[in-house]
Homo-oligomer: A and B are copies of this chain.
Amino acid sequence: MKESPLFWPAFLKKDVLFVLDETLIPEKVKYIQVKTPSQAVKVIKTMKTRAFGQFLVVLSTFLLVLKDKNIKSDKALVKKFFDVAHALNKSRPTFPFSEVTGMILGWAQKAQKENKDLRLSLQKSIEGFLFGIRGRRLERVQKLADTIKKHKVILTHCNVSGELAMAAQICKSAGKNISFFATETRPYFQGSRLTAWELKKAGVPVTLVADNAVATLMRDKIIDAVVVGSDRSCANGDFANKIGTLQIAVLAKEFDVPFYVLTQPSNKVKNGGDIPIEIRDENELLKVRGKRFAPKGVKGFYPGFDVVPHKFITKAIAINVN
């Protein structure tokens, strides 16, 4: 099975964090070299990486700090960890980076209290956690394959970081050929640039549609299921995902199409109403390929995410937690 570069888009090599520049795909597969925490915050803020890639960057940034030889004492290291956590947490409001950074800060304080070799202990914890995530994501890919294998044509929105392409390959090797429709996912075109690209690369048939064509695909029974990812989950099952997911969920209910979501369960937020929604720069909407498309003087409004109430979910395909 081919692993999509989007499945694991950031990794440490010696003292450098390599981050896949998703804004260059499909034209180029190129990695940005991140050497400092502030560079890490920048690749997140500017959406050079997104979704799962951001979490890898968040986790790996602490590994970068551990390699910083200018930090001499344990005290200075813990202080640096707190500073880095703070900067990462506030980089994008909708993402629960604090859940990850909080966990790491907990490890740091515990190891310090227990008088362990702080650097070594933290490195082991973070690397072990990353290794665990990898395994649990591969498990989720299998669960996803088990869920979608009974369908023929699936609609997806935005990009679920490699998992859909892998699940489709599992189905294919079991003789179940599933094809996909991907929304282009304005304004960032993740569906066009990333999802269509990785599905095509994996040898899985994929057709692009405008975000406006979703109702037609459902009404005319061209698709028989929807799969989306989630950026954040709530205790009650509500979840936040890329703008446009809510309307697809509402339409799936109206047209009686199964609606599946890949989740990372969390109880930190009670329900969807409590998730803050990031409003991004209007220029990301008004400009296409860096050139302004909208008429002069017209404003744009670009909420980056929306929240889907749990009542619209047919089944959540959850990552195993703990």
CB-based contact A207/B302 at 8 Å: no
Stretch at the interface among A16-24, A136-144, A211-219: A211-219
Asked if A310 CB lies within 8 Å of chain B CBs, one says no
CB-based contact A208/B301 at 8 Å: yes
CB closest residue in chain B, given A219:
B246
The A interface is mostly helix, strand or loop, or mixed, namely: mixed
CB closest residue in chain B, given A291:
B289
Complex Cα distance A15/B67, Å? 79
Complex Cα distance A242/B297, Å? 25
Complex Cα distance A207/B296, Å? 12
Which residues of B sit under 8 angstroms from A303, Cβ to Cβ? 213, 216
Interface size class of A (residues with CB under 8 A): 35 or more
Asked if A209 CB lies within 8 Å of chain B CBs, one says yes
Asked if A126 CB lies within 8 Å of chain B CBs, one says no
Interface string of A170-188 (1 = CB under 8 A from B): 0000000000010111110
CB closest residue in chain B, given A243:
B212
Known A-B contacts A189-B293, A285-B209, A294-B192; the reply to A254 vs B244 at CB < 8 A is: no
CB closest residue in chain B, given A242:
B212
CB-based contact A207/B295 at 8 Å: no
Which residues of B sit under 8 angstroms from A209, Cβ to Cβ? 285, 300-302
Asked if A78 CB lies within 8 Å of chain B CBs, one says no
Known A-B contacts A285-B209, A293-B189; the reply to A298 vs B247 at CB < 8 A is: no
Specify which of A184, A212, A214 lies most central, judged by the most chain B CB atoms within 10 Å of its CB.
A212
Asked if A228 CB lies within 8 Å of chain B CBs, one says no
Asked if A160 CB lies within 8 Å of chain B CBs, one says no
Asked if A107 CB lies within 8 Å of chain B CBs, one says no
Complex Cα distance A302/B207, Å? 10
Complex Cα distance A192/B184, Å? 17
Please name 29 pairs of A and B residues whose Cβ atoms are closer than 8 Å in the assembled complex, sorted by A. A26-B294, A184-B285, A186-B186, A187-B210, A193-B294, A196-B294, A196-B298, A206-B299, A207-B298, A207-B301, A208-B285, A208-B294, A208-B298, A208-B300, A208-B301, A210-B244, A210-B285, A211-B212, A211-B244, A213-B302, A216-B243, A216-B246, A219-B246, A247-B251, A250-B254, A251-B251, A288-B288, A288-B289, A289-B289
